Amino acid sequence: MGDVQDQIASLLNEAKFANASDKIRAFKMARELLLTRGHLLIPDFIDEIMSFQVDQAQSVRREAISLGVSLCESHVSPAVLQSTLSALSGFAQYGRESGAALTTAKLALSGIITLYKLIFALVFALGPGIEPDPDLQQVWAFASSLQDHYVRSVLGAEATVGERVLFVAFIEQNIKLFLSSEGPAVEGVPRSQGPLPAHHSLLDPGALVTSAEETFISMVTAIRPENIECIPAPVAMAIIGTICRVARAFPRLYGKLVPALNVLATQVSPSGRSSPLYPRDYHYVYVLILHVQKKKKTKSSH
């Protein structure tokens, strides 16, 4: 193990003073060592890897993001997740003045979506009466704050369209996580079978359901004709797709969804220039309405 540790340390030290292509090469070699022979060394090197978030080359930042997420998936621990999540939130905000930087920011957001699921799995897996360690409490608090921020940002104009579409994907994942009766399946984390215990040390089952349903309703509200005019078409279609998929997964939400889609399809004119939806999008909306209504009838007939 000492030989592997020395090799990884040498690669990362050399990367600090190398050009972009050599840094990426060093990262790829470090990835191979960490994932195949140095799994237990991941906590020792994660901070150093994530320090490349301020590298001048966007390609290096993206490689660091990819490596960090892979290491978290391989070594699911609160400390590693905390270091990586904190860095990814920085990647998503730092130096977004160019197209390449925005690509990096979107990759970081995609990584945050993945890490949130890992963190939720760790938290969910805590048994009744088991107190979480401080690292898990800290990373869960930080992940929860990101959830609140991204929900608000979907309808704001500060983020780019691409980022807002990713925020919608984040919201979809989390609504499903909060409403599920079982913890998510994550390799390396014991999966909890059955509902969340009422006296969980970090999660309140009722609060999770309430949060998910309120977020769902806020997304449904966003596609009402008086609101959807203010939303770019890709974001609007992402929201429509998300709320339909969530309703299919949790049929009790159909009642909140179908009326809104019917109103959208009948009251917003495809020829109206104020609408962000194009005629082809209306076909998509109608197809979703028919599909959701069909699913609802199928569920009620059983």
**Same-domain pairing of 121 and 90:** yes
- What per-residue confidence (pLDDT) applies to 293? 53
C-alpha span between 114 and 108 (Å, rounded) = 10
Measuring CA to CA, how many Å separate 88 from each of 84, 97, 139?
6, 17, 13
C-alpha span between 16 and 9 (Å, rounded) = 11
**Same-domain pairing of 117 and 191:** yes
- What per-residue confidence (pLDDT) applies to 244? 84
Please indicate, yes or no, if residue 132 is contained in any of the structural domains.
yes
C-alpha span between 94 and 284 (Å, rounded) = 36
Which residues span the domain enclosing 267? 223-302
**Same-domain pairing of 194 and 227:** no
CB 6 within 8 A of CB 25: no
CB 64 within 8 A of CB 53: yes
Please indicate, yes or no, if residue 95 is contained in any of the structural domains.
yes
- What per-residue confidence (pLDDT) applies to 289? 55
**Same-domain pairing of 88 and 195:** yes
Q: Out of 13-27, 89-103, 156-170, 258-272, give the one with best mean pLDDT.
A: 13-27
**Same-domain pairing of 186 and 255:** no
Alpha carbon dihedral 31, 121, 166, 103, in 10-degree steps, equals: -10
Q: What is the mean pLDDT of residues 225-253?
A: 86
- What per-residue confidence (pLDDT) applies to 288? 56
**Same-domain pairing of 187 and 282:** no
Number of domains in the chain: 2
**Same-domain pairing of 159 and 115:** yes
3-state secondary structure of 173: helix
- What per-residue confidence (pLDDT) applies to 102? 83
Please indicate, yes or no, if residue 212 is contained in any of the structural domains.
no
Look at residues 22, 67, 33 and name the one whose alpha carbon lies nearest to residue 47. Answer: 67
| Residue 16 pLDDT level (bands cut at 50, 70, 90) | very high
**Same-domain pairing of 175 and 238:** no
Look at residues 166, 117, 182, 116 and name the one whose alpha carbon lies nearest to residue 145. Answer: 116
CB 11 within 8 A of CB 41: no
CB 183 within 8 A of CB 123: no
**Same-domain pairing of 184 and 142:** yes
- What per-residue confidence (pLDDT) applies to 272? 45
